[in-house]
Amino acid sequence: MLKTYSLTKDTLLVSSESNIKNSSIVYVYGDEREYSESFEHKYDLEIGNILTFDDQVAYDTMIDRNDEKSLLVSFLFPEVHEGGHLHNLMTSIVFLVFKNKLIIFTKQKLKFIPELLSNMVLRDVNNFIEEVLLKIIQKDFHVMLNHLRGVKEKIDDLESEISTSGSLRPTFGDLLTLQKYMIALSTTYGANHKALDFIKKHFTTINDIDFTTKKIIGGIYNTSNTMDRIILGYSQYLDDLEDMINNMISYQLNMIMKTLTEISIVLTIPTIIFGFWGINVDDPFEKSSYGVFAVLIISVILSLICWLWLRRKKYW
């Protein structure tokens, strides 16, 4: 699928897909191999591989036949959702940055991109490509930060679940899911930081770059650093939480084994008594019609004495 946007005065407006060549911004997602392959052949790129193997970022400088310099840069975007496997918790966003054109590629549609581009008001129409790119990256980082805050809520829910119901089996599933998210998020943030360094290097070498653009780049860096600190804290907390769950399970297992051992000790006494009265020799109460009840009473009394003794010794 293709979505195209044209610059009208200082505003980006949705344009016809048939007017791709004259569009200022083109967003490509889904199965549009023919369009992406035209750039792959022209600039010797591997856009399809970048989108398929979304575990690292790519960045490079492209030079065309007219010595016009363009940029290729990709970012990773985490997709935090329930039941996701590790290989589909991230997706790549590829940018081709030309002098007067920006092309965006993603494997599947990311809602925040067309929402941001539609009716976007630009501050500097002379450098609108840099401004649009930075605003998309800025929005990308804000969405990632919101995902990270959502993980915090999941951690709080997991902690509440442990406090109320103990370390049950579903808790392990929730913990593994959160740890999987942490892996995806930390991988995403670390890779994006390198791509951000590449953008900063090429944008800040422009002599007439204005203060607002520098401020946007600085703000993105601050957001990235904030996410790095938060992800580190959450990861450490999840590790501590895992240790606590393991300790709780070990304690519960010890208590179960202790209870079973004490029950075995108490039940051993009736077993010995019944075995003693079952031997083929003369025994007390053998001739009595109440002998069975007497043996049972003796077994109960001795078992109670054993139980009270264990309680006194604090073995119970």
Q: Check if the beta carbon of residue 101 is closer than 8 Å to that of residue 26.
A: yes
Lowest mean pLDDT among 7-16, 235-244, 253-262: 235-244
Query: Is the pLDDT reported for residue 241 higher than 50?
Result: yes
Residue 245's pLDDT band (cuts 50, 70, 90)? confident
Query: Is the pLDDT reported for residue 224 higher than 60?
Result: yes
Looking at residue 47, its pLDDT comes to: 82
Please write the tens of the pLDDT for every residue from 26-75: 998 887 677 777 777 777 778 888 887 766 788 888 877 677 778 888 88
Looking at residue 207, its pLDDT comes to: 44
Residue 3: how many other CB atoms lie within 10 Å: 19
Looking at residue 206, its pLDDT comes to: 44
Q: Give dist(CA 85, CA 106) in Å, integer.
A: 19
Q: Check if the beta carbon of residue 7 is closer than 8 Å to that of residue 23.
A: no
Looking at residue 289, its pLDDT comes to: 74
- Percent of the chain topping pLDDT 70: 86
Looking at residue 85, its pLDDT comes to: 54
Looking at residue 195, its pLDDT comes to: 84
Lowest mean pLDDT among 106-120, 209-223, 263-277: 209-223
Query: Is the pLDDT reported for residue 109 higher than 70?
Result: yes
Measured CA to CA in angstroms, residue 72 lies from 19, 40, 142, 148 at distances of: 23, 11, 22, 27
Q: Give dist(CA 251, CA 109) in Å, integer.
A: 48
Please write the tens of the pLDDT for every residue from 168-217: 555 667 777 777 777 777 777 777 888 888 887 877 544 445 666 777 78
Looking at residue 92, its pLDDT comes to: 85
Please write the tens of the pLDDT for every residue from 125-136: 777 888 888 888
**Residue 233 tokens, joined:** 């804290």
**Residue 91 tokens, joined:** 């997706």
Measured CA to CA in angstroms, residue 258 lies from 4, 92, 214, 244, 308 at distances of: 70, 54, 66, 21, 16
> What's the pTM value of the predicted model, to 2 decimals?
0.68
Cα Rg for the chain, rounded, in angstroms?
34
**Residue 36 tokens, joined:** 């992406």
Residue 87's pLDDT band (cuts 50, 70, 90)? low
